[in-house]
Structure 1
Amino acid sequence: MSLTASTVKHQVQTPEIQLKDVEMRYPTDTGDVLALHQVSLDIGKGEFVSLLGPSGCGKTTLLRLMADLIQPTSGSIHVAGKTAKEARLAQKYGIVFQSPVLYDWRKVKQNVALPLELVGVSKIERERKAIELLELVGLEKFADQYPWQLSGGMQQRAAIARALAMEPEILLMDEPFSALDEFTRERLNEELLSVWNNIQNTIVFVTHSIPESIFLSDRVFVLSPHPGRLSAVVEIPLPRPRTQEMRNSPAFFELIARIRDSFEGV
């Protein structure tokens, strides 16, 4: 049977993240600015989903709300059965930002081990864990290097390893590969899926790249231009493991067209 972009509606059996009627307003000198309007969604445990949309649509704001870095104006957010604040305090998630934010004066293994150091894990145990995580992202040979000695892609892999140090149930990723060239980005897409296949946690990935969202995700949440609304939820029925050959398949191009058509106001 040939693969097409259409599929049955996804049923979330075990919601890991739930947002209901989430709205976000920012006060300004000329009045409140509505950034997100009435966003409701469920993300299943162990799912890989992308938040996709044009610049300014509220993707990063939505991710920051899930992480309890900011609080919504209205609506509710539950993460791993807890409020977003409770989940943050329980260290239910790790975060990877656009920039790796590594400390240049610390070796790569020391950067990865930093979260463990902050909670009082012994030096021997945190070094063991750091090496294990660096092996997971293919950087074990660079454990004693400094961040400035690594390429941009390698630095971002080290940041991913650090985000996994506390064994989070959820990994929140804010356009982590956007500053990289296309060749490096596609390779890191594959490596991220390999990591995810090993740890089987829930990943929420912010991107403005339609092909990237399709290649990585089980589902893509499409946000409309400002103010951000949930414009569509697109199933990605491509089989796993994903391969680079899939990027040239008719099903892949059909999904690109379907997502483009789902944008409101573009």
Structure 2
Amino acid sequence: MAVAKVFTPEIELEEVSMRFQTDKTEVLALDNVSVAIQKGEFVSLLGPSGCGKTTLLRIMADLIQPTWGEIKVAGKTAKEARLAQKYGIVFQSPVLYDWRKVKDNITLPLEMMGTKKSERESRVDHLLELVGLKKFKDKYPWQLSGGMQQRVAIARALAMEPEILLMDEPFSALDEFSRERLNEELLSIWSKVNNTVVFVTHSITEAIFLSDRIFVLSPHPGRLSSVVEVPLPRPRTADMRQSPDFYELISRIRNLFEGV
């Protein structure tokens, strides 16, 4: 008799809650959120503005501490995982240094860790190839489009070869056409890197196109209202956005927010 395969979560949050103290009152941002994310998964945290998506991501990254709850990352605490450089983080804004060329922005974390120059140069060349920016390595960030700047930020986040890539609405400031193109490019990069991705978005179509599973958060306070499996085959293609299955998923997720 076949034995069912047991999966050990790479990221596990148990009953995580977060309160923020303001001048006049306390605000409950997250309430009793439990999620388990498998190694190599691409998952999205989806919900309206103010539902705690970014707060949850920052808790995973050990950038802030939850008021209650427990976080385990690859069997370690979030702090241990951060110190072990398990994470790469891409923020909503690329946060690049305008006085450093593209190649020098990407190499910055390697310089900070004291990586040998020959290894730095080899890894940066590989990353530039991966994100399609080899011809722009000697340009400055201000000479690039917004989408190209985010590709630089993704390459920099991958410089330390992290097991987990955390992405906080990285394409939200872009126009729809650029955003869709970068969604496709991100999946191409992910297919070569094979790491775990946690992606924050408020776009239903973006979450569906990218994800294996979608964690849907309700607003005020943020609670996990549903986990939606995305059965679309990989590799994902642009024409999938027009398929009946894609529209069915959009409708199902929209229904989750009705009356919220």
Contact 1:50–1:219 (CA under 8 A) maintained in structure 2: yes
* Matching residue of 1:253: 247
The Cα shift of 1:32 comes to 1.3
TM-score (ref. length: structure 1): 0.94
Distance in 2, Cα, partners of 1:264 & 1:221: 16
Distance in 1, Cα, partners of 2:8 & 2:87: 17
* Matching residue of 1:211: 205
Q: Does residue 116 of the first structure (1) align with residue 110 of the second (2)? A: yes
User: Which is worse superposed, 125-134 or 83-92?
Assistant: 125-134
Q: SS at 1:226's partner residue?
A: coil
Measured against aligned partners, the alpha-carbon deviations of 1:45-91 in whole angstroms (never above 9, x if no partner) come to 00000000000000000000000000000000111110000000000
Q: SS at 1:15's partner residue?
A: coil
Q: Does residue 17 of the first structure (1) align with residue 11 of the second (2)? A: yes
Q: SS at 1:145's partner residue?
A: coil
TM-score (ref. length: structure 2): 0.96
* Corresponding letter in the other structure for 1:243: T
Distance 1:188 1:12, change over 3 A: farther
Contact 1:224–1:264 (CA under 8 A) maintained in structure 2: no
Structure 1 unaligned blocks of 5 or more: 1-10
- How is 1:215-254 mapped onto 2 (pairs within 5 angstroms)? 215-254=209-248
* Matching residue of 1:8: none
* Matching residue of 1:179: 173
- How is 1:56-71 mapped onto 2 (pairs within 5 angstroms)? 56-71=50-65
The Cα shift of 1:125 comes to 1.9
Q: Which residue, 13, 21, 30 being the options, matches 1:36?
A: 30
Q: Which residue, 184, 196, 200 being the options, matches 2:194?
A: 200
* Matching residue of 2:70: 76
The Cα shift of 1:264 comes to 6.4
Instruction: Let me know the Cα RMSD of the aligned residues.
Output: 1.1
* Matching residue of 1:4: none
* Matching residue of 1:7: none
The Cα shift of 1:127 comes to 1.8
Q: Which residue, 150, 155, 175 being the options, matches 1:156?
A: 150
Distance 1:140 1:259, change over 3 A: same
Measured against aligned partners, the alpha-carbon deviations of 1:233-256 in whole angstroms (never above 9, x if no partner) come to 000000000011110011000000
Measured against aligned partners, the alpha-carbon deviations of 1:97-154 in whole angstroms (never above 9, x if no partner) come to 0000010111100000000000101222212211110100100111111111111000
* Corresponding letter in the other structure for 2:67: T
Distance 1:193 1:48, change over 3 A: same
Contact 1:24–1:34 (CA under 8 A) maintained in structure 2: yes
The Cα shift of 1:165 comes to 0.3
Distance in 2, Cα, partners of 1:12 & 1:45: 12
Q: Which runs of 4+ in 1 moved over 3 A?
A: none
The Cα shift of 1:226 comes to 1.1
Q: Does residue 262 of the first structure (1) align with residue 235 of the second (2)? A: no
Distance 1:135 1:41, change over 3 A: same
Distance 1:184 1:156, change over 3 A: same
Structure 2 unaligned blocks of 5 or more: none
* Corresponding letter in the other structure for 2:123: K
User: Which is worse superposed, 209-218 or 28-37?
Assistant: 28-37
* Matching residue of 1:127: 121
* Matching residue of 1:143: 137
Q: SS at 1:232's partner residue?
A: strand
